[in-house]
């Protein structure tokens, strides 16, 4: 493949010319997919590792999901909310000890080698289970993958494992990499981690640090007549205001993951040729939580935690910090998850008088200066909204006599302080709900988590009944019974408040109206974009 040299100025100028020549009628009209064209979009970060089989995170998926495919993807209307990718079907055994995958025939890796069940077995046993940040939990009991033929992979588990969990994990945790490129040498050091080779509709072409990632069309893709686009270019624009300006100047055609500041959305929605899209992130719900260090005597008291919960005006947070692009939370499962969510949980309406009364009952009277005690508050630095909520929470706590000192750290220092050193009293965190409470959610409240595990219970909270419920749910094979256990899990978390769930939000996309097939699955921004196109 010949190398294409792209300067930032030349790239943006070229895309502006392309857009100028592709005017589109009103976005309400149906569009016929067109082949060809270069989609240029904003990227606000540069992942150090582009292998989603190792790092299952949205920053990596955003780029690599177009290159490296999973066994299945999320779907609005598919059975069990899934759509086949590299696997055509999946079936769990009644005893929970195996899952059989039938794989897609005729798939080739980008280097021309055939995709087979050996690649799935290698990925699962050598990467997902031992190395992947989330797979280490979901696939902990996976002991073997049988491959009776090239298109069958049978996962064998040492202990009964709920099929519902494995099924729900497929979109995020089942990225398959080529065995022939990874079987020699240390997986973590493989050069394909930064120049991935996959089976997806697009091939990795090049990366220029601080400038762009470029993907090109895979002409041998298994999808009939797909992909439509010739190229995808991720323009590195870490400043959100830059993304908004680039869209208005027609220098880029898409900004996903709320790259445009929420405060600009109302104005930008009125700009001719631009559309604001709120769909396509339903499978990527972020949760705004107050993490609590239960080693602190005051915070180990349930009445104090209840008081803090009553001091937070969730409606105000949603309307003012998120400008309405969020929902109030009731517990550890978001409202937009129809499979597990229940509203039948204890709630804590905004009530400053009740909060003060609870603190008085707990024995923490106001001193002459009006203060009861002081806390260290560490807002996560990842989003403007988490930092803004930190400022709001400090004021909310002051209203009930708690003096909160805000400590702002960069990402690395925040992670170390909260999840390794436990050097916090309260922290503001944005964990992600990934479609099943066993995937990155129960870990927020389960005891016994080793130091240093991000987005986990590093507050020292221990509840034997809750731990037992989490364990039981992880071993329950009956789908209906398992779902009910997780509804009970929500009730217990809301009642004892190991942490406080405040709000839940997804993201916003802004696109030129020349971009077609946007937001057509619940994980669209991190799906393969095989059917995304530029209209002419």
Distance CA 84, CA 92 (A): 16
Q: Which residue has the higher pLDDT, 55 or 308?
A: 308
Task: Provide φ and ψ at 147, rounded to 5°.
Answer: -130, 80
404 sits in which H/E element: strand 402-406
In the predicted structure, residue 21 carries a pLDDT above the cut 50: no
Distance CA 36, CA 332 (A): 43
Distance CA 334, CA 522 (A): 14
Distance CA 299, CA 254 (A): 44
**Which residue has tokens 């024995």?**
363
Task: Identify the band that residue 45 occupies on the pLDDT scale cut at 50, 70 and 90.
Answer: confident
Examine residue 227 and say whether the peptide bond preceding it is cis (omega within 30 degrees of 0).
yes
Task: Provide φ and ψ at 470, rounded to 5°.
Answer: -65, -45
Neighbouring CB atoms inside 10 A of 363's CB total 11
Task: Identify the band that residue 27 occupies on the pLDDT scale cut at 50, 70 and 90.
Answer: very low
Residue 477's pLDDT is 96
Residue 9's pLDDT is 34
7-21, 165-179, 224-238, 302-316: least confidently modelled range: 7-21
pLDDT tens for 386-435 read: 999 999 999 999 999 999 999 999 988 999 999 999 999 999 999 999 99
Task: Identify the band that residue 14 occupies on the pLDDT scale cut at 50, 70 and 90.
Answer: very low
pLDDT tens for 137-171 read: 899 999 999 999 999 999 999 999 999 999 999 99
**Which residue has tokens 């998120």?**
322
| Joined tokens for residue 242 | 């830059």
Give the mean model confidence (pLDDT) for residues 4-19: 34
Residue 39's pLDDT is 98
In the predicted structure, residue 288 carries a pLDDT above the cut 80: yes
Distance CA 432, CA 353 (A): 32
DSSP string across 289-347: EEEE-TTSTTTTSHHHHHHHHHH--HHHIIIIISTTSSEE--SSS-TT-TTT----S--
Residue 31's pLDDT is 64
Determine how β-strand 231-236 pairs with β-strand 38-43: parallel
CB-CB contact of 307 with 359 (8 Å): yes
Give the mean model confidence (pLDDT) for residues 302-313: 98
132-136, 278-282, 478-482: least confidently modelled range: 132-136
Residue 15's pLDDT is 34
**Secondary structure class of 535 (helix, strand, coil):** coil
Task: Identify the band that residue 17 occupies on the pLDDT scale cut at 50, 70 and 90.
Answer: very low
Of the chain, the percentage scoring pLDDT greater than 90 comes to 87
25-34, 161-170, 207-216: least confidently modelled range: 25-34
Measured torsion, CA atoms of residues 66, 431, 255, 511, in degrees rounded to the nearest 10: 90
pLDDT tens for 225-280 read: 999 999 999 999 988 889 999 999 999 999 999 999 999 999 999 999 999 999 99
Q: Which residue has the higher pLDDT, 339 or 15?
A: 339
In the predicted structure, residue 445 carries a pLDDT above the cut 90: yes
In the predicted structure, residue 454 carries a pLDDT above the cut 90: no
**Secondary structure class of 433 (helix, strand, coil):** strand
Residue of 523, 82, 517 lying closest to 281 (CA atoms): 523
Q: What is the mean pLDDT of the chain?
A: 92
pLDDT tens for 53-64 read: 999 989 999 999
Q: pTM to 2 decimals? A: 0.86
């Amino acid at each position: 493949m010949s190398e294409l040299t792209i300067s930032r100025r030349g790239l943006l100028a070229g895309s502006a010319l392309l857009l100028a020549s592709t005017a589109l009628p009103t976005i309400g009209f149906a569009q016929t997919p067109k082949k060809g064209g270069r989609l240029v979009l904003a990227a606000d970060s540069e992942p150090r590792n582009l292998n989603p089989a190792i790092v299952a995170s949205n920053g990596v998926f955003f780029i690599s999901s177009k290159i490296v495919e999973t066994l299945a993807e999320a779907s609005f209307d598919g059975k069990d909310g899934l759509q086949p990718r590299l696997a055509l079907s999946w079936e769990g055994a009644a005893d929970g000890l195996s899952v059989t995958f039938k794989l897609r025939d005729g798939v080739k890796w980008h280097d021309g080698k055939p995709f087979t069940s050996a690649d799935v077995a290698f990925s699962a046993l050598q990467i997902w289970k031992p190395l992947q940040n989330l797979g280490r939990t979901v696939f902990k009991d996976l002991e073997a993958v049988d491959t009776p033929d090239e298109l069958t992979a049978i996962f064998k588990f040492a202990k009964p494992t709920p099929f519902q969990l494995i099924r729900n994990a497929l979109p995020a945790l089942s990225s398959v990499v080529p065995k022939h490129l990874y079987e020699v040498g240390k997986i973590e050091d493989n050069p394909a981690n930064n120049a991935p080779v996959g089976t997806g509709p697009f091939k990795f072409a090049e990366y220029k640090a601080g400038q762009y990632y470029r993907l090109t069309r895979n002409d041998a893709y298994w999808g009939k007549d797909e992909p439509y686009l010739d190229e995808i270019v991720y323009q590195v624009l870490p400043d959100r205001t830059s993304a908004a300006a680039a869209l208005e100047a027609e220098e880029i055609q898409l900004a996903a993951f709320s790259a445009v500041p929420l405060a600009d959305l109302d104005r930008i929605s009125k700009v001719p040729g631009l559309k604001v899209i709120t769909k396509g992130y339903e499978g990527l719900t972020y949760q705004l939580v107050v993490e609590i260090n239960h080693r602190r005597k005051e915070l180990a008291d349930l009445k104090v935690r209840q008081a803090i919960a009553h001091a937070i005006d969730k409606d105000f947070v949603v309307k003012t910090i998120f400008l309405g692009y969020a929902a109030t939370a009731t517990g550890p499962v978001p409202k937009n998850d129809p499979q597990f969510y229940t509203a039948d949980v204890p709630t804590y309406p905004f009530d400053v008088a009740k909060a003060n009364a609870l603190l008085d009952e707990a024995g923490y009277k106001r001193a002459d200066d009006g203060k009861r005690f002081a806390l260290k508050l560490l807002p996560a630095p990842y989003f403007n909204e988490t930092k803004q909520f930190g400022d709001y929470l400090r004021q909310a706590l002051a209203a009930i006599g708690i003096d909160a000192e805000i400590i702002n750290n960069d990402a690395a220092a925040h992670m170390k302080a909260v999840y390794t050193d436990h050097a916090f009293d309260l922290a503001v965190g944005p964990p992600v709900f990934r479609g099943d409470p066993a995937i990155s959610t129960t870990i927020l409240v389960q005891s016994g988590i080793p130091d240093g595990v991000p987005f986990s219970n590093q507050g020292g909270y221990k509840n034997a009944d809750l731990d037992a419920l989490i364990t039981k749910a992880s071993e329950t094979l009956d789908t209906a019974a398992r779902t009910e256990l997780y509804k009970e899990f929500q009730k217990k978390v809301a009642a004892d408040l190991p942490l406080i769930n405040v709000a839940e939000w997804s993201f916003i996309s802004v696109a030129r109206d020349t971009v077609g097939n946007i937001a057509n699955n619940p994980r669209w921004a991190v799906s393969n974009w095989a059917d995304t196109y530029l209209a002419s």
